[in-house]
């Protein structure tokens, strides 16, 4: 693991994660909402082949790994959803440096 001594890589819980959470692996359906409008609901998550035990920030950073491929709306949603779990901006910075060095490519 590159930058293993970086403080942002330390002190995290290890949890079971999807490990490849991105727009193509999230199934959604248009549904009626209680106020009479329609909205989107997650109906499934597919492609669990890389699932396993990773640091708690892993799904957040991996969801942003292919950021240029996804719509800005999806990227904003990822930031908004994961903000409820904490601020992983330092972890994302370390991962981006690792990706730039050839990790996960």
pLDDT on residue 54: 93
Cα 65 to chain centroid, rounded: 8
CA–CA separation, 48 and 35 (whole Å): 34
CA–CA separation, 8 and 17 (whole Å): 19
CA–CA separation, 55 and 65 (whole Å): 16
Q: Give me 73's structure tokens.
A: 């709306």
**DSSP code for 84:** T
pLDDT on residue 5: 80
pLDDT on residue 4: 80
pLDDT on residue 2: 79
Of the candidates 32, 27, 77, 69, the one whose C-alpha atom is nearest the C-alpha of residue 48 is: 27
| Domains of the chain from N-terminus onward | 7-100 (3.90.1200.10)
Q: How would you write the pLDDT of the chain (105 residues) with one tens digit per residue? A: 678 888 888 999 999 999 998 888 999 999 999 999 999 999 999 999 999 999 999 999 988 887 667 788 888 989 999 999 999 999 999 988 888 877 554
């Amino acid at each position: 693991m590159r930058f293993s001594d970086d403080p942002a890589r330390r002190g995290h819980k290890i949890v079971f994660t999807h490990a490849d959470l991105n727009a193509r692996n999230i199934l959604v359906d248009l549904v009626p909402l209680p106020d009479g409008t329609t909205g989107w609901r997650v109906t499934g998550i597919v492609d669990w082949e890389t699932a396993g035990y990773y640091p708690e920030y892993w799904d957040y950073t991996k969801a942003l790994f292919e950021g240029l491929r996804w719509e800005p709306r999806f990227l904003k949603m990822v930031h908004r959803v994961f903000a409820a779990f904490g601020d992983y901006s330092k972890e994302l910075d370390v991962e981006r440096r690792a990706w730039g060095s050839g990790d996960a490519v």
